[in-house]
Structure 1
Amino acid sequence: MPSMDSCNYRVTLFYKLIAIIGGSALAFGQIPKCTTTNRIAYFFYCNLTHMPPVNSDTLVLDLSFNYLSEVNSTFFPRLLQLVDLNLGSQQTERLIVKKDSFRNTPSLVKLDLAYNQLLILDSDGLAGLSQLKILFLYYNKLNGSILENDYFKDLMSLEYVDLSSNEITYLRPNPLFYHLYSLDIINLRHNQISSICAGDLHSFERKYFTIMELSHNRFNKWETLGSDRCGNPFRNIEFDTLMLSGTGFDVDKMQKFCGALNGTKMMQLKLDSHGMGAGFGYNHIKDPDNSTFVGLVNSNLQILDLSTGNIFSLKPYTFGNLTVLKLLNLAENKINRIENKAFCGLNSLITLNLSYNLLGELYDYSFEGLPDLTTIDLQQNHIGAIQNNAFKSLEKLNYLDLRGNAMKKVTFFEALIPITYIFFGGNKLKSIDSSYVYSTFLDLSENDLNDLGGLFKILQYPLLQYVILKRNRLSVCYSHFSISKNNSLLHLDLSDNMINLIWDNGQCLNVFSNLSLLGLLKLNNNFLRYLPEGIFNGLESLQTLNLSSNLLTHLMPGVFPTNLDTVDLSKNQLYSPSPKVFLSVKKLDLTHNQYICDCFLLDFIMWLNETNATLLGSPYDTYCMYPPNFLFQPLHILTVENCDDDKVLMPLMFSLFVLTSTTILVLMSTVVTYTHYRGFCFATYKRILGLIIGNEKKEEAADACKYDAYLCYSSKDFQWVQDAFLRNLDTQYCDRNRFRLCFEERDFIPGEDHIVNIRDAIWNSKKTICIVTKQFLKDGWCVEALNYAQSRYFTELKDVLIMVVVGSLSQYQFMKYQPIRAYVKRAQYLRWPEDIQDVEWFLGRLSYQILKENTVEKKPNQASRKPFNHELQNIETIS
């Protein structure tokens, strides 16, 4: 019997033959229909009823999907070099192939007569095709006579015949098949064969078939199976692969079938889509046991496929007689229990597939008796617990796949022998409890990991080379270990996480510092707005860096290592990048960014047109997003003649000169005037101040405030406040908003005293909203505005102040300021939500607080309180 390698070689060679000859149309996909080009004649869907004119040296002729109803000896001209002919899928009710129809095409290697509604084939219709290797006859309503008669008598080179999806009910091949020595693949899938007995395949005896496909026939009605009068249907025939999928055999019929084979030699037996097993809740149906496959003991079987069934429990010694079996496929059953010694006897098994079953736990006895096992596939089960020594007996295990299970923790790492590939993706891991992983490749993707410090743990194993952490929830980093400089990490995937939160908090900025061998780093889809300075220091071998689909707006020169070869910056928000950033990069993807096409982009555009770097992606995907008249204009077609530096800067320099001179003159005049008339100025100021205060009180009494709310925040937070609050609440930003908001950049009177502007904003607004951030606490004007708002509270006895805390401010950080402590004692502050999906709810809550009118009851001792202004004198000044 040929070895497995030689059989695989023959199958590969067969598919290459189909690809080269039968699939030649794909190589010339641009050839128009109903023409002949480069010795390829395409005449499919051409409404033909007769043979079109073609060149005599044609190699490939496609006449499918036409209206040909008859082929005879005069149909084809002399096409002595034709090797591939397609006559399939004719639109007529039938196709008649008469005697000597192919006498003018003697060199045919592949003939396709498939998918005709009815094929009427003369017994000499295939005469003269001595070179034919591949024959397609599927979907033609052919019956058993196609094999029983001598239609194939001249096909001495035939290697593959496809008779699937016909109406064949029996198999009794004509004796001529003795002489078809090359025939080694026959496809009889989806016919109506109900039984095969000894002697039916007498013409196939002493032949070796690479593939015999008998799947999805009607063998479930095989009443004589296993009886003495039926015998072994495959007597004296050898197979590389025998396919009998979809038989529906239960355990008894499977036992009879295996017994009937009686040592027939085969390398692979496919029995998937069987009927064995109790499934879930059907105890009256048997699972296979140690007697089911005993008939295969002398078959030298190396691959057994029992996938897609209802096997629920694996009994002891179920496969105990298959001592030379190397691959066992039990995927897509209902296996829930592996009993003790279930796999004993499989001394040569290399690969075990238990994927897509119902396993919930693995015990230390689950895989006993598998000394040579190297690969085990357990993905897509429901495994939640694994006993520590479950894999310890598998001394040669090299590939462990546990993806798509329900593990919340991994506690058996220390009990593992070294395994090259470990896959834990798609589980529910929240942390990595082991700091020593015996693996070269570790996949932890699509879990619930949130601590990047786990990477520091697993890299304690010096031989780990590939780590996949994509699609987790990495957002914090507590590094209790340090990464050794002797690590071997080559590939690190951190994509689809929240690394931005880690770096924003200043955590683990040294995560890459000791990864000197790392060649590929993926950081795409991490919401990165910036790259911390020196974050890639130490990556001496980095070749590929993926930063796509982030929020990067600016890159500092020198941020990338000099050895970097490929960078992906697509789908970011780069506005006007400096070419100096990319000087050392050889391959670069800058597509789908937010380029602002003004003269500041001049250097970048010139660099794009002159660089020797390979720009990945289409140049039409590198386009402008602003100004509107340049929207989606590709950068490579923009002209730069109008961006002369002198012409552009001259008006700007003159404007700056005039503005500076005017500012200095006005300032000097103001100082001189104030020095000489300071008494008059002070008196005027007091008089105006009195009028303003009077007007405010009058407006207050009339309950007709100019604004709904005054937004008080640090000027350094303006961009964020604008995006978060103004665009969602202020009427001038959007008509659907309902509030008239007051804020410094728009509503303060230029040139007016700043404290007067603040006081006017507070008294002319129903509520004051203080956006408390780290910058707010450092801004003296903001704290002063908070004092004024509290003063109004004590004056009107109305809850007119709303405080919103933003960012990672701790209770201690803002409670150390006395005005904030005073507010917190009497009211609750709001905190900006961390999760973006809660923002809409938060804005609704804030809107309610703005509209809500709360009157504060005056306490009995409140009249005796010292004026609030007196308290303010004791507050620590904040610069």
Structure 2
Amino acid sequence: MGTLKQITLYVAVCSFISSSSAFSLNNCTIRTPLKDIQPKVLCYKMGFFRIPWIPRNTRILDISFNAFAQIQIGDFSHLSNLQDLNISNNKISQIQEGALDNLSNLSRLNLASNRLREISRGMLHGLTNLLVLRLDHNYIKDIDVTAFSTLQNLKVLNLTKNHLHYIEKIKPVLASPYLEELYIASNHFDAFKSYEMSTNPLSLKILDLSKNPFATFQLTDNIFPFLNHLDLSYCGQNGTMTWNITEKTFFSSVKTLYFMDVHISAQNAANVLQSFQNLLNKIRLNGNVELNKTDLLLNACSPMLQVLRLKANKIKHLEEHMFDPCSNLTEVDLGDNEISRLWPSIFIGFTQLKTLRLQINKLTQITNSFQMLSTLEFIDLSRNSIDTLTCNDFANLTQLKNLYLYSNKISIIKSCLFKDLKSLEVLKLGTNNLLRIGDAFSNGPHSLVELQLTFNKLSKIEKYTFRNVSQLNSLSLQDNQISEIESHAFGGLKNLTSLLLSSNKISAKTLTKNQDVFSGMPNLKSLGLDTNSISFSDDQLKFPPFKDLKHLRVLALHSQRRGIGKIPSNLLQGLSSLEMFYAGNINLAHLNPDTFKFSPQLWFLDLSKNALSEDHSIPAELFHPISRLTKLILSRTQLRSLNFLLNANLSRLLSLKASGNEIDTINKTLIQSLPRLEVLDLGKNTFTCDCTNEFFIDWAKNSNSTQVLYLNKYMCSYPSSLRGMSLSAFNTESCTLNIDFICFLCSSIVVILTLLLSFVWHFLRFQVVYAYYLFIAFLYDNKKKQSGSTFQYDAFISYNAKDEPWVMEELIPKLEGEQDWRLCLHHRDFEPGRPIIDNIIDGIYSSRKTICLITRNYLKSNWCSSEVQVASFRLFDEQKDVLILVFLEDIPTHQLSPYHRMRKLVKKRTYLRWPKPGEDTKVFWQKLKMALEVKEGHKSDFLIP
């Protein structure tokens, strides 16, 4: 069975996670724990004009105080689990019929303070389980007859402050058979006639008709058999209202009547009150200034009446016997009047009175006025002008449990004041003029549980001041001028759990002057020392002030007026049970790593509003003793980084708030170091919008375990070009290295280059080879020019090896033997072991001329072609006669076509031809000699095109 439940829960959680996508909602927060599969989502006061995206399994949704103008079909279609929906305080003037059809589980719907003018036929259809509906503060004038027909379970309906003019307009709402509470105050009903509302008994228990200008109230049928509470306050107009109740039993079930500030005559008021057959238990007659109070009480009071409220009636004097008709009252409220004097005889008739409220009057003294009220349990005398209390003022009040005397002018409390208050549990003496306590509590009250002494002028707490109120559980001393606390000042308070000393003048000296400042309170759980003048300069204290508070759970030291300076390493010594520590706004610049070594149970830490900007202000070791920390607040601490949390070992941290700092980057390692984080607030930081925050942005958007509060409000501060842009709008896809795309791109480039190189080699290889040789020649030519070297040879002979016999037999003997020319020949002058192309270039550029011996074999030779290429480059680069073409064979022009370079040269230049067999060779040698002898800059027929 247990396994089945676990599986069901797991499926539900997974369903929620998948449906909600992430917890970082725009302008909304999830207030319930994230493990709750039906969360509470708050989106109020966010300026929405349309319904935002809401997690599918939301249980409670508050989108009040926005700017919605209408509710459309589909806005809530996915929220079938919604139970409580608050859309109040918007501008809704229309709800489309069917827009709420899918909210079958909704039990509470708040549409108050909108602009609805009617309740149409299908507006509320589908709300079959609705229990509470608020439509108050709208402009509703009309309600369709069938509007409430599907609301079979409705119990509470509020239509207060609308524009309904006729009570018959209310009739459609009575189609809800179990309606128990109906509020139709502040409309424009000038007549209430029961038959216009219904003739059948209704299930109503509470009916609010207040603030309607009734001129007529007529009840002819017993339609309110279960009515318990009726509000007729502020009704009537012009002092008249016809009151017609045909049977006095019609209101026999009413126990509570609100009849405040009615605008009717005394006689009509009497008629109203007499209609309740003296069966009322509670009545409010507040604000009936113009009615005679004695007559009012005569008609209102009865033996059944228990609670009477007469607030704000401008009563100045309480007359004797005025409450005689109300002798069985248990509570009387006479607050906010002008009563200045009391005497015992006024209350002589009360035999069961337990609560008496006299707050906000003009009393200056009590004068033993309550001695006859032995049953009294609660007296409120606050906000008067009482300045003196005598020993007999509360005599005989042995049953009194609560005494409120705050906001008076009391300066002295005598020890005899509480001598008879054997049962007193709560005493409030705040906002008086007390200068000292002295022996005020030397005689008790021994049963006192709560004592409030706030906003007085106490400067010193003396030794054993409270030892005779040993049952005290809560002691409030804040907002005084306390600067001195004697040893054992709180001695004897063995049951005290809460001590508030905030907003005083307590200093470090006050706490460390002796060892027993807080002794005598072994069960103290909460201590407030905030807003004092505590500051420390020592790293360690001689007398740790909290050493005796072993059960203290909450310590507040925040907001010290001059700043605390530093927290001594042993300040918290003895606080082994400390769970919550408030240390915000104390101008703290550094925390000692040993600060919390005495408080291993700490789970809440507030360090907000401090100056922790330095890199080592918060050492990681600080958190090692408090591994149970679940909530950490670091807001407005000038932090530049949260990297100190990397090694803090905060594996249980659930909530981290660090808003208002200078944090620019959140990395992956930091997030991974907080595995249980549920709530993260980093608003108003100086984020950098670049790829360093890529992980954080994507994680914040998509995390289904951590809620990043108001992510869409995080703004970019850097770079300047993106300043003011939403961090969540930064495109993180530009940071992702797409391996697949890169592989595709590289593969495409390789294929294209392969095809391109194949094409070039097939169709343009000669041009490529030519370009290569031109480049090599260019480099060599520059080198020669820079070195300024002279020619080593008169001519470089470019020929094919098959033509070598002619060279050896004809050319060399003639040019070197007879004409004394220096020739550069392959087989003789090339440097062995050197690259051939280097030898060719060196030979051509070391010779004044290049003689190409052209034959068919020559044209077919790659190396000969290279020599022609280099020689051609030298020809066009230097613009000199450096090239002599000699055809040893007769080659037709068309046979030169495949040899682009040679054909081009032949077309542009004159060449020599070796004579045919039998022809005279003298002319040939003579022309060759002439070509070799041409000086620099002189044109030759053989060299110039």
TM-score range normalised by the length of the shorter chain: 0.5 to 0.7
Structure 1 486/292 Cα, relative in aligned 2: closer, same or farther at 3 Å? closer
SS in structure 1 of the partner of residue 282 of structure 2: strand
Say which one has the larger Rg: 2
Structure 1 636/350 Cα, relative in aligned 2: closer, same or farther at 3 Å? farther
> 2-side partners of 1:481 and 1:67: how far apart?
66
Segments of 5+ residues of structure 2 without an aligned counterpart are 1-43, 45-57, 666-683, 695-945
> 2-side partners of 1:355 and 1:328: how far apart?
12
Structure 1 336/594 Cα, relative in aligned 2: closer, same or farther at 3 Å? closer
Aligned counterpart in structure 1 of residue 186 of structure 2, from 139, 145, 150? 139
Q: Deviations over 1:227-271 (max 9, x none)?
A: xxx696255353343222111268xx3233323335241332221
> 2-side partners of 1:563 and 1:530: how far apart?
20
Aligned counterpart in structure 2 of residue 510 of structure 1, from 523, 529, 544? 544
Q: Is 1:435–2:464 an aligned residue pair?
A: yes
Aligned counterpart in structure 1 of residue 606 of structure 2, from 560, 568, 575? 568
Aligned counterpart in structure 1 of residue 623 of structure 2, from 582, 585, 588? 582
> 1-side partners of 2:605 and 2:153: how far apart?
53
Matched letter for residue 564 of structure 1: Q
Task: Give the deviation of 1:410 after TM superposition.
Answer: 1.1
Task: Give the deviation of 1:184 after TM superposition.
Answer: 1.6
Q: Is 1:188–2:232 an aligned residue pair?
A: yes
Structure 1 525/105 Cα, relative in aligned 2: closer, same or farther at 3 Å? closer
Aligned counterpart in structure 1 of residue 342 of structure 2, from 314, 319, 323? 314
Aligned counterpart in structure 1 of residue 204 of structure 2, from 136, 140, 158? 158
Task: Give the deviation of 1:99 after TM superposition.
Answer: 6.8
Structure 1 122/255 Cα, relative in aligned 2: closer, same or farther at 3 Å? closer
Matched letter for residue 174 of structure 1: T
Matches within 5 A, 1:430-829: 430-433=459-462, 435-437=464-466, 438=469, 439-451=472-484, 453-454=485-486, 456-475=488-507, 476-477=509-510, 478-479=513-514, 484=519, 487-500=522-535, 509-526=543-560, 527-560=563-596, 561-565=598-602, 566-574=604-612, 575=614, 576=616, 577-585=618-626, 586-587=628-629, 588-592=631-635, 594=637, 597=640, 604-607=644-647, 611-614=650-653, 616-621=655-660, 623-624=662-663, 632-633=685-686
> 2-side partners of 1:493 and 1:54: how far apart?
49
Paired residues of 1:197 and 1:232 also in contact (CA < 8 A): no
SS in structure 2 of the partner of residue 208 of structure 1: coil
Matched letter for residue 614 of structure 1: L
Task: Give the deviation of 1:379 after TM superposition.
Answer: 1.1
Q: Is 1:233–2:266 an aligned residue pair?
A: no
Q: 2:263 matched to which residue of 1? A: 218
> 2-side partners of 1:591 and 1:333: how far apart?
47
Matched letter for residue 403 of structure 2: I
Structure 1 175/495 Cα, relative in aligned 2: closer, same or farther at 3 Å? same
Paired residues of 2:381 and 2:405 also in contact (CA < 8 A): yes
Aligned counterpart in structure 1 of residue 449 of structure 2, from 417, 420, 436? 420
Aligned counterpart in structure 2 of residue 271 of structure 1, from 292, 296, 310? 310
Q: Deviations over 1:463-516 (max 9, x none)?
A: 443221100011243549676577433322111111116x66998733222222
> 2-side partners of 1:112 and 1:463: how far apart?
46
> 2-side partners of 1:613 and 1:357: how far apart?
52
Matched letter for residue 552 of structure 2: L
Task: Give the deviation of 1:444 after TM superposition.
Answer: 0.8
> 1-side partners of 2:503 and 2:196: how far apart?
62
> 2-side partners of 1:637 and 1:558: how far apart?
38
Structure 1 218/485 Cα, relative in aligned 2: closer, same or farther at 3 Å? closer
Paired residues of 1:621 and 1:634 also in contact (CA < 8 A): no
Structure 1 473/199 Cα, relative in aligned 2: closer, same or farther at 3 Å? same
Matched letter for residue 288 of structure 1: L
Structure 1 473/237 Cα, relative in aligned 2: closer, same or farther at 3 Å? same
SS in structure 2 of the partner of residue 145 of structure 1: strand
Q: Is 1:378–2:378 an aligned residue pair?
A: no
Higher deviation after alignment, 398-407 or 231-240? 231-240
Q: Is 1:304–2:329 an aligned residue pair?
A: no
SS in structure 2 of the partner of residue 500 of structure 1: coil
Structure 1 436/99 Cα, relative in aligned 2: closer, same or farther at 3 Å? closer
Structure 1 197/386 Cα, relative in aligned 2: closer, same or farther at 3 Å? farther
SS in structure 2 of the partner of residue 581 of structure 1: helix
Structure 1 52/430 Cα, relative in aligned 2: closer, same or farther at 3 Å? same
Paired residues of 1:209 and 1:241 also in contact (CA < 8 A): no
Q: Is 1:396–2:396 an aligned residue pair?
A: no
Structure 1 54/396 Cα, relative in aligned 2: closer, same or farther at 3 Å? closer
Matched letter for residue 415 of structure 1: N
Structure 1 169/429 Cα, relative in aligned 2: closer, same or farther at 3 Å? farther
Q: 1:648 matched to which residue of 2? A: none
Task: Give the deviation of 1:441 after TM superposition.
Answer: 2.0
Q: Deviations over 1:762-791 (max 9, x none)?
A: xxxxxxxxxxxxxxxxxxxxxxxxxxxxxx
> 1-side partners of 2:97 and 2:433: how far apart?
63
Structure 1 490/242 Cα, relative in aligned 2: closer, same or farther at 3 Å? same
SS in structure 2 of the partner of residue 570 of structure 1: coil
> 1-side partners of 2:135 and 2:568: how far apart?
66
> 2-side partners of 1:616 and 1:306: how far apart?
48
Higher deviation after alignment, 206-215 or 41-50? 41-50
Higher deviation after alignment, 375-384 or 166-175? 166-175
> 1-side partners of 2:143 and 2:639: how far apart?
69
> 1-side partners of 2:289 and 2:504: how far apart?
42
Matched letter for residue 416 of structure 2: N
Q: 2:927 matched to which residue of 1? A: none
Task: Give the deviation of 1:318 after TM superposition.
Answer: 2.1
Aligned counterpart in structure 2 of residue 368 of structure 1, from 376, 395, 398? 395
Q: 1:294 matched to which residue of 2? A: 324
Matched letter for residue 647 of structure 2: W
Q: 2:899 matched to which residue of 1? A: none
Paired residues of 2:171 and 2:198 also in contact (CA < 8 A): no
Matched letter for residue 471 of structure 1: S
Paired residues of 2:579 and 2:601 also in contact (CA < 8 A): yes
User: Taking structure 2 as the reference length, what is the TM-score of the superposition?
Assistant: 0.55
Task: Give the deviation of 1:583 after TM superposition.
Answer: 0.8
Aligned length: 584
RMSD: 4.2
Structure 1 218/269 Cα, relative in aligned 2: closer, same or farther at 3 Å? same
Matched letter for residue 525 of structure 1: S
SS in structure 2 of the partner of residue 258 of structure 1: helix
Task: Give the deviation of 1:450 after TM superposition.
Answer: 1.0
User: Taking structure 1 as the reference length, what is the TM-score of the superposition?
Assistant: 0.59
Task: Give the deviation of 1:380 after TM superposition.
Answer: 1.1
Q: 2:816 matched to which residue of 1? A: none
Matched letter for residue 61 of structure 2: F
Q: Is 1:244–2:285 an aligned residue pair?
A: yes
SS in structure 1 of the partner of residue 308 of structure 2: strand
Matches within 5 A, 1:8-47: 27-30=60-63, 33-36=70-73, 37=76, 38=79, 45=91, 47=93
Task: Give the deviation of 1:373 after TM superposition.
Answer: 0.2
Structure 1 614/78 Cα, relative in aligned 2: closer, same or farther at 3 Å? closer
Structure 1 109/617 Cα, relative in aligned 2: closer, same or farther at 3 Å? same
Structure 1 344/304 Cα, relative in aligned 2: closer, same or farther at 3 Å? same
> 1-side partners of 2:276 and 2:166: how far apart?
33
Paired residues of 1:424 and 1:445 also in contact (CA < 8 A): yes
Matches within 5 A, 1:843-858: none
> 2-side partners of 1:635 and 1:441: how far apart?
49
Aligned counterpart in structure 1 of residue 213 of structure 2, from 167, 170, 181? 167
Q: Deviations over 1:193-238 (max 9, x none)?
A: 758999858445562335322212136x515878xxx696255353
> 1-side partners of 2:138 and 2:182: how far apart?
17
Matched-pair identity in %: 19
